[in-house]
A and B are shown apart, each in its own frame.
Chain A
Amino acid sequence: MDRVKAYLRFLGTSFAVNVQAVVEYRANFLVQTFGMMLNNAAFAFFWAVLIGKVGNVGGYGFADVMLIWALVSSSFGLSHAAFGNVRSIGQIVQRGELDLYLLQPKDVLLNVLASRTVVSAWGDFAYGFLVLALLPGLSPGRFALFAVLIVIGAAIFTATFAAAESLCFFLGDATGISSAVTEFMLSFSLYPESIFGRGMRWVFYTILPSAYIAYVPLAAMKALDWGLIPPLLGIACLYAAASYGFFRLGLRRYESGNQMGARI
């Protein structure tokens, strides 16, 4: 119990320090948030134009598309606000910066993930709630369900990205693969599931789990169905455990950076 308490205190302090970083770089934060909202607004405009012209797209109306954007944006934001290093693991490993975390009496992966926040992610996180508030039918129940769904989504995002980044233990430079995973995850999550052929949809339920971040949560939100939460939680735990195991496996091969290579 004490261990759990100590970890919570550690994560809490990490988070508090990270918030300070956001405050320290508030100008940057505002600019980034502004840029991201602009980006999302551009796509919202696109969907408004398209759906205005042709009715729904693959069974998705404008509100559905916006809800997906809200879910993905907040999940992605939460993942990067709380675990800001999630897509820097590869770089940290390659530069030998993992040393610092290995020197500290904390779980390495958790420590690495929690020790940074991505400033712009806070904007992503807030944006989802903003969209939710603007969409019709806001209620406390809907809000609560949304909050739970994005926590699950953030866990799955984090697990997937961390696993992709951990490839660098085995391959050296895996930044290409990792950024591809990010691109694919986001691209597939932000568009209606049904526009993709049946042949590739299995991908969204396995290696690029967009389904548990966007499609299934959308169904849950539309029906206000809490019954989907337990299985989603189970799936999130499964992804987290697999990702954690993969990182530990890679850690054994850690070489404390490539400085050795530079000297030869």
Chain B
Amino acid sequence: MSAISVQRLSKSFRSKVRPEGLGSSLKSLIAPSYREVEAVREVSFEVEEGEVVAFLGPNGAGKSTTIKMLTGILRPSSGYCSVLGLDPSRQRTALARSIGAVFGQRSQLWFHLPPSDSFRLLGAVYEIEPEVLARRVPELVERFGIGPYMDMPVRKLSLGERIRCEIAASLLHAPKVLFLDEPTIGLDLVVRREVRALLSEIARRDGTTVFITSHDLGDIERVCKRAIIIHHGGVVVDESMKELRHRSLSRKFIGVKYASPVDFELGGLKPVKRTETAASYVVDTNEHRLPEVLRALVGRGELEDLTVEDEALEDIIARIYAAGASTGEAGL
């Protein structure tokens, strides 16, 4: 049975159009004009039990709206979705018992209380037997290394400490499916890595189905086995992480700056842009080994600066989208 099943799911919002100027503002008070905005358009996909899926897309692509429909927060405008065989908007409370959710921008912990109190309260909310809770909490505390923070008010925790407590809290009732919406937003690199490691562990140890949205590819590259990319409300890519990595993450952007002019020609690799002392390269790691390229660059002269970047998700999507469109046409 699939853990998540989504068929032609759509959601549109009606938003009031606010005109500028006093006169038209007054007019809109009496006869407001609305505009339909399609946030999610006929999205379909399936997620098997135990799968770890990344749900990607640039800001505003409809990721959050989809996750909110899957968790019962929003009612779909049309189409159908089911999670663990339940209809989220009709069987919300029943579903809530078996799913967990972490929203990076919205805390489920009580701000002024220590996490230990929030855990107690969430135990009551999820109707966890006190004995079960008494076993579960220390286990999670140990796994997430949050012992030192359990008795500090949440407001005094750093963002990284807080997010670990958030994820632990969402696992209290041992959910079968865990939804995470931008769990690493605003976190620094070190904490991001920690969160990734934790998520991998959850999936591996408990066999939990994990569904993560992010606008940052690097975030989930290591955690997820499969990626679904949406753009402008619709699915543009649904494939294994391996394929996606091969296709997109193989491109690295390297920038170098030297103290004095050097020769920028590397065997078979030409800079895409160059000045006397600086250059940038696009390296396809399927063709060139990154360590070798870097070694060669370091050997060229006295380096002042070196940067290695992934391709931005927007660019990847634009590329995939363009490629998809052209092959589509070719097929006609």
A→B interface (CB under 8 Å):
6, 9-10, 12-14, 17, 20-21, 24-25, 96-100, 102-107, 111, 172, 252, 254-256, 260-261, 263-264
Asked if B126 is at the interface of the complex by the 8 Å CB criterion, the answer is yes
A107 (CB) vs chain B CBs: closest residue = B93
Q: A264 touching B127 by the CB < 8 A rule?
A: no
Would you call B272 an interface residue if the criterion is a C-beta within 8 Å of the partner chain's C-beta atoms? no
Residue of chain B at shortest CB distance from A172: B16
A97-B75 CB under 8 A given contacts A20-B113, A105-B94:
no
The distance from the CB of A203 to the nearest CB of chain B, in whole angstroms, is: 26
Interface flags, B30-61, vs A, CB<8A=1, else 0: 00000101010000000000000000000110
| Residue in A25, A99, A172 whose beta carbon sits within 8 Å of that of B112 in the complex | A25
Task: Tell me the smallest distance from the CB of B51 to a CB of chain A, in Å.
Answer: 21
Interface size class of B (residues with CB under 8 A): 35 or more
Q: Are A264 and B37 neighbours in the complex by a CB distance under 8 Å?
A: yes
Those 4 A-B pairs whose CB atoms lie nearest each other, nearest first: A105-B96, A13-B124, A10-B124, A102-B73
B113 near A97 with CB under 8 A, answer no
Q: Which parts of B70-119 form the interface with A (CB within 8 Å)?
A: 71-75, 92-94, 96-97, 99, 101, 103, 106, 108, 110, 112-113, 117-118
Cβ 8 A contact of A24, one of B15, B65, B113, B127: B113
Q: List 13 additional contacts besides A105-B93, A106-B125, A254-B74; criterion CB under 8 Å.
A: A14-B124, A17-B120, A24-B112, A24-B113, A102-B73, A103-B101, A105-B92, A105-B96, A105-B125, A105-B127, A107-B93, A256-B64, A261-B13
In the assembled complex, which residues on chain B have CB atoms less than 8 Å from the CB atom of A261? 13, 15-16
User: Contact at A105–B97, with CB atoms within 8 Å?
Assistant: yes
Binary per-residue interface labels of chain B (136-173) against chain A in the complex, 1 for a CB within 8 Å, 0 otherwise: 00000000000000000100000000000000000000
Q: In this assembly, does B232 line the interface, its C-beta being within 8 Å of a C-beta of chain A?
A: no
A227 CB → nearest B CB, Å: 38
Judged by a CB distance under 8 angstroms, whether B68 is at the interface is: yes
Q: B121 an interface residue at 8 Å Cβ cutoff?
A: yes
Of residues 284 through 329 on chain B, the ones whose CB sits less than 8 Å from some CB of chain A are none
Residues of B near A256 (CB, < 8 A) are 64-65, 68, 73-74
Are B71 and A103 in contact, with the CB atoms below 8 A?
yes
| 18 A-B residue pairings within 8 Å (CB atoms) | A9-B124, A10-B127, A97-B106, A99-B106, A103-B96, A104-B96, A105-B93, A105-B94, A105-B127, A106-B93, A106-B96, A255-B74, A256-B64, A256-B73, A256-B74, A260-B13, A264-B15, A264-B35
Minimal beta-carbon separation of B245 from chain A (angstroms): 30
Task: Report the minimum CB–CB distance from B251 to chain A (whole Å).
Answer: 28
Which residues of A are found within 8 Å of B99, using beta-carbon distances? Answer: 103
Shortest distance in angstroms between A208's beta carbon and chain B's nearest beta carbon? 25
Contact B75 A252 (CB under 8 A): yes
Q: Which residues of B contact A172 (CB under 8 A)?
A: 16
Residue from the list B16, B59, B73, B121 in contact with A14, Cβ < 8 A: B121
Chain B residues with CB under 8 A of A99:
68, 73, 103, 106
Q: Are A102 and B39 in contact, with the CB atoms below 8 A?
A: no
Nearest-neighbour CB distance to chain A for B60, whole angstroms, equals 5
Q: How far is the CA of A263 from the CA of B58 in the complex (A)?
A: 13
B123 to chain A, nearest CB (A): 8
- B103 contacts across to A, CB distance below 8 A: 99-100
Q: Are B73 and A21 in contact (CB under 8 A)?
A: no
Contact of B106 among A24, A100, A105 (CB under 8 A): A100
A113 to chain B, nearest CB (A): 14
Q: Are A21 and B101 in contact (CB under 8 A)?
A: no
Contacts of B71 in A (CB 8 A): 102-103
**Nearest Cβ in chain B — how far from A2, in angstroms?**
9
With A and B bound together, what is the CA distance between A109 and B206 in angstroms? 33
Q: How far apart are the CA atoms of A9 and B108 in the complex, in Å?
A: 19
Chain A residues with Cβ below 8 Å from B97 are 105
Q: Knowing A21-B113, A99-B103, A105-B96 are in contact, say whether A255-B13 is a contact too (CB < 8 A).
A: yes
| Cα(A108)–Cα(B83), bound, Å | 20
Given A13-B120, A17-B110, are A102 and B37 neighbors across the interface (CB < 8 Å)? no
Alpha-carbon distance between A172 and B14 when the two chains are bound, in angstroms: 12
Question: Is B126 touching A17 in the complex (CB atoms < 8 A)?
Answer: no
**Given that A13-B121, A20-B117, A256-B74 are known contacts, is A104 also in contact with B126, CB under 8 Å in the complex?**
yes
Chain A residues with Cβ below 8 Å from B108 are 100, 103
